[in-house]
Amino acid sequence: MCKILVFAGTAEGYALAEYLYENQAKAHICTATDYGLKNLKEREGFTCSGHRMDEAEIAAFVKEQGFTHVVDATHPYAAQASVNIRQACESQNIPYLRVIREGESANESAKKAHYVDDIEAAVEFLKGTKGNILASTGSKELAAYTKLPDYENRVYARVLSLPSVAQSCAELGFTGSHLICMQGPFSMEMNAAMLRQWDCKYLVTKETGQAGGFQEKCEAARREGAQLVIIGRPVREEGDTFFQCKRKLQAICGIPYRPQVSLVGIGMGDAGTLTLAGQKACQEAELLIGADRMADAVASPGQHVLREYRADRILEYLLEHPEYEKIAVALSGDVGFYSGSRALMDKLSNGLPKEAVIEALPGISSLNYFMAKIGKAWDKAELASAHGRACNLVHRIGACAGTFGILGKAQGVADLAQKLCDYGMEDVTLFVGERLSYPQEKIFSGKASELTGYEGNPLSVFYAENPHPAVYTGRIRDEAFIRNNADEKNVPMTKEEVRTVSLAKLELTKDSVCYDVGAGTGSLSVEMAMRAFDGKVYAVERNPEAVRLIHKNARKFGRDNLHIIEGLAPEALEELEAPTHCFIGGSSGNLKEILELILKKNPAVRLVINCITLETLQEAMDAARTMPLTDVEVVQIMASRSKKLGRYHMMMGENPIYIISCTGGKTE
């Protein structure tokens, strides 16, 4: 069993102590003073003490208590303390883990700072300057500032809020507003406020790393135009960062990995569209994950960041780095609106340990933001996204009075506008939003006919207002279709009653991929495309005049998902993607070959065959007996329509049709 001795006194030390306690590891926490114990409580298996020890005392304590490992998380400037702890461990042959702070000097403000070796050098530099000074180097270094001319008026000292500290500072001449007794950590905003309050032109700090608030000081100085004076670390040590040490303690103490993962919708990208809950999750995260744009929007200075958006890679990284327990994944917009959160949630839920806690924090979606900007209600709008996915926007816009959509390329608006014009919807009004919430935000509107040449930003959304939406009720009358070719001769067309039954037997879904073999005028192809609006319909026809009519009908009914193939089946089908459904209305004597090819492409395809002649019916029934088809059903339809003769109505019969429906698959 492991028993850990932790020398704390720093934020990292207290965090490791809390980590060991929460995971019920046996540990003792040592601090140099009673003040350091204020946030620590003795609990079962977890004890504390607050006094300094030399090397001999440390060695005796380690031996007496039977510690198996020692963690040195003392302050980077407490060099002698680390020497004593290390040598005591060596004398007792006890593993020694030194926690070091990660360097932060890559910060742009720190690069422009004035570096000195010690406090005396800092004071010497400041003697040749003018302007107020915020000293954040602690009370022990304060005496050095008294060598500055007029130090009582220039220096504002920030020290711990202890009576003994305040008294010693007052004895040096630091009183009133020049003595700031406060307990950190300090945010960037707090640092900046202090610099502004006392009009400080200089900020003196030690290179205390992330846990010591170094980045927050650097950023505050940059924003307020103050000169940084940085006292470099006296010793450049070797050891483990906080998270490296935490990972070692996990292995030493057998602590299970219990990550807490927040999937955070960060809004449009500007910090103003991030909710308070999302902001808190991102700020408190030990590891922030997100694609470049999302990570840049919410990452805190010095925060550990994984720039990644792929679900499998995120899971892989988390399993490889169990030292990170609080994780935030930044996702664009709202996690419930066309977000990658669903796939990521599934991946993490199945891949992380069962103890993992995964939550989704909603954000402000582009829908909410944009519709508010243009003053439109969206409760009745059709919602869609063409960003990285197939989406039939033309269908939605044609069928709805209002449609909101997400685009994903610079030509997205122009392409959409051109398609709307191609399908006779040039009077649709498009409201367009680009780079929402960013300084470069752009919102405008125009008719589809006015935007066919527009090139904008890939980060764009639109709202389309259609003054004449055409709602599909499940029925289109025969006379609505264009049937006449150039010679005013009608091309054969599957009649309305037969279309209705055939479509019911076909059992299409919204994303079906369907063939219409022998499409004629395209009446059945059009209705297929209406029902499978997120799928594809291939209308295959060998007659050039009929092909031209299919094009006209596709345009009239706005069927952007209807693809017209001129040619004879089965040859015309060979290069097409595999169908989920197939309707055969004309086979030109090639029914057997057509069925063989379709079943080869998809053995589970759903089939409907319409037969007018008895010979075609016989051929279809032979196929049903000899081919791997199941669920075979034959329906005969003979519809009659009334025709007015004077004041009477006479029923006129249509040709009888045999409708054969079946599904690919071997029978038992």
Q: How many CA atoms lie within 13 A of 144 on its CB side?
A: 17
- How many CB atoms sit inside 10 A of residue 625's CB? 8
With respect to residue 243, please indicate whether it lies within any of the assigned structural domains: no
Q: What confidence tens digit (pLDDT) does each residue in 20-37 have? A: 988 888 999 988 776 666
Provide the total of helices (H) and of strands (E) in the chain, helices listed first.
Answer: 22, 30
114 near 229, Cβ under 8 Å?
yes
Q: 453 with 552, same domain?
A: no
Q: What confidence tens digit (pLDDT) does each residue in 262-299 have? A: 999 999 888 788 999 999 999 999 999 999 888 988 99
pLDDT band at 420 (very low <50, low <70, confident <90, very high): very high
Q: 198 with 53, same domain?
A: no
The pLDDT of 39-47, averaged and rounded, is 68
Q: Look at the pTM and tell me if it is higher than 0.75.
A: no
With respect to residue 85, please indicate whether it lies within any of the assigned structural domains: yes
Q: What confidence tens digit (pLDDT) does each residue in 305-325 have? A: 999 999 999 999 999 999 999
Q: Which of 337, 294, 284 is nearest to 314 (CA)?
A: 294
pLDDT band at 184 (very low <50, low <70, confident <90, very high): confident
CATH number at residue 607: 3.40.50.150
Compute CA 301 distance to the chain's CA centroid, rounded to the nearest angstrom: 21
Range with lowest mean pLDDT among 433-437, 588-592, 640-644: 640-644
Q: 220 with 264, same domain?
A: no
Alpha helices in 326-365 (DSSP H): 341-351
Range with lowest mean pLDDT among 420-424, 441-445, 488-492, 519-523: 488-492
Between 110 and 237, residue with greater pLDDT: 237
Q: In this structure, what token pair is assigned to residue 473?
A: 């009720």
- How many CB atoms sit inside 10 A of residue 580's CB? 20
pLDDT score at 360:
95
374 near 429, Cβ under 8 Å?
no
Average pLDDT value over all residues in the chain: 89
CATH number at residue 265: 3.40.1010.10
- How many CB atoms sit inside 10 A of residue 376's CB? 14
pLDDT score at 445:
96
pLDDT score at 76:
75
The yes-or-no verdict on residue 153 having pLDDT over 50 is yes
The yes-or-no verdict on residue 584 having pLDDT over 90 is yes
The pLDDT of 414-443, averaged and rounded, is 93
The pLDDT of 48-64, averaged and rounded, is 89
Q: Reduced to 3 DSSP states, what percent helix, strand and coil does the chain have, rounded to the nearest 5?
A: 35, 25, 40
Q: 320 with 389, same domain?
A: no
With respect to residue 61, please indicate whether it lies within any of the assigned structural domains: yes
Q: 82 with 127, same domain?
A: no
**What is d(CA 398, CA 407) in angstroms, rounded to the nearest whole number?**
17
149 prior amide bond cis, ω within 30: no
With respect to residue 140, please indicate whether it lies within any of the assigned structural domains: yes
pLDDT band at 210 (very low <50, low <70, confident <90, very high): low
With respect to residue 251, please indicate whether it lies within any of the assigned structural domains: no
CATH number at residue 37: 3.40.50.720
The pLDDT of 415-432, averaged and rounded, is 94
Q: Are strands 326-331 and 287-290 parallel, antiparallel or unpaired?
A: parallel
pLDDT score at 104:
45
**What is d(CA 214, CA 113) in angstroms, rounded to the nearest whole number?**
13
- How many CB atoms sit inside 10 A of residue 425's CB? 23
What string of DSSP letters covers 613-647?
SHHHHHHHHHHHHHSSEEEEEEEEE--EEEEEETT
Domains in the chain, number: 5
The pLDDT of 114-123, averaged and rounded, is 89
Question: 583: part of which helix (H) or strand (E)?
Answer: strand 581-584
Q: Which residue has the tokens 């505050």?
A: 220
Q: 521 with 422, same domain?
A: no
**What is d(CA 63, CA 257) in angstroms, rounded to the nearest whole number?**
31
Q: 345 with 402, same domain?
A: no
The pLDDT of 428-435, averaged and rounded, is 96
Residue 521 domain boundaries: 478-664
The yes-or-no verdict on residue 135 having pLDDT over 70 is yes
pLDDT score at 389:
77
Q: 438 with 320, same domain?
A: no
pLDDT band at 40 (very low <50, low <70, confident <90, very high): low
Strands (E), 407-489: 429-434, 442-447, 460-465
The yes-or-no verdict on residue 340 having pLDDT over 80 is yes
Between 45 and 627, residue with greater pLDDT: 627
- How many CB atoms sit inside 10 A of residue 177's CB? 8
The yes-or-no verdict on residue 453 having pLDDT over 60 is yes
**What is d(CA 650, CA 639) in angstroms, rounded to the nearest whole number?**
13
103 near 209, Cβ under 8 Å?
yes
pLDDT score at 323:
93
Of the chain, the percentage scoring pLDDT greater than 90 comes to 64
**What is d(CA 174, CA 347) in angstroms, rounded to the nearest whole number?**
58
- Among 317, 338, 361, identify where a domain stops: 361
Q: Taking the alpha carbons of 137, 143, 146, 148 in that order, is the dihedral positive or negative? A: negative
Q: What confidence tens digit (pLDDT) does each residue in 155-178 have? A: 999 998 888 889 999 999 999 999
- Among 75, 98, 121, identify where a domain stops: 98
Q: What confidence tens digit (pLDDT) does each residue in 599-657 have? A: 999 999 999 999 998 888 999 999 888 999 999 999 999 888 888 888 888 888 788 89
The yes-or-no verdict on residue 53 having pLDDT over 60 is yes
Q: What is the dihedral of CA 327, 333, 339, 342, to 10 degrees?
A: 40
573 near 540, Cβ under 8 Å?
yes
pLDDT band at 109 (very low <50, low <70, confident <90, very high): low
Q: 522 with 626, same domain?
A: yes
pLDDT band at 103 (very low <50, low <70, confident <90, very high): low
If you ran DSSP here, which 8-state letter would residue 490 be given? B
**What is d(CA 548, CA 546) in angstroms, rounded to the nearest whole number?**
5
The yes-or-no verdict on residue 580 having pLDDT over 50 is yes
With respect to residue 263, please indicate whether it lies within any of the assigned structural domains: yes
The pLDDT of 349-355, averaged and rounded, is 94
174 near 153, Cβ under 8 Å?
no
**What is d(CA 606, CA 514) in angstroms, rounded to the nearest whole number?**
9
pLDDT band at 668 (very low <50, low <70, confident <90, very high): very low
- How many CB atoms sit inside 10 A of residue 458's CB? 13
What string of DSSP letters covers 186-242?
--HHHHHHHHHHTTEEEEEEE--TTTTTHHHHHHHHHHHTPEEEEE--S-----B-H
Mutual orientation of helices 11-22 and 242-253 as an angle, nearest 10°? 20
CATH number at residue 163: 3.40.50
With respect to residue 129, please indicate whether it lies within any of the assigned structural domains: yes
Of the chain, the percentage scoring pLDDT greater than 70 comes to 94
**What is d(CA 25, CA 69) in angstroms, rounded to the nearest whole number?**
12
The pLDDT of 555-563, averaged and rounded, is 93
With respect to residue 103, please indicate whether it lies within any of the assigned structural domains: no
pLDDT score at 24:
86
Q: What confidence tens digit (pLDDT) does each residue in 67-84 have? A: 999 999 988 777 788 899
**What is d(CA 35, CA 209) in angstroms, rounded to the nearest whole number?**
22
Compute CA 223 distance to the chain's CA centroid, rounded to the nearest angstrom: 30
- Among 43, 78, 98, identify where a domain stops: 98
Q: 355 with 374, same domain?
A: no
**What is d(CA 121, CA 74) in angstroms, rounded to the nearest whole number?**
25
Mean pLDDT is highest, among 220-224, 359-363, 490-494, for: 359-363
pLDDT score at 160:
87
pLDDT band at 387 (very low <50, low <70, confident <90, very high): confident
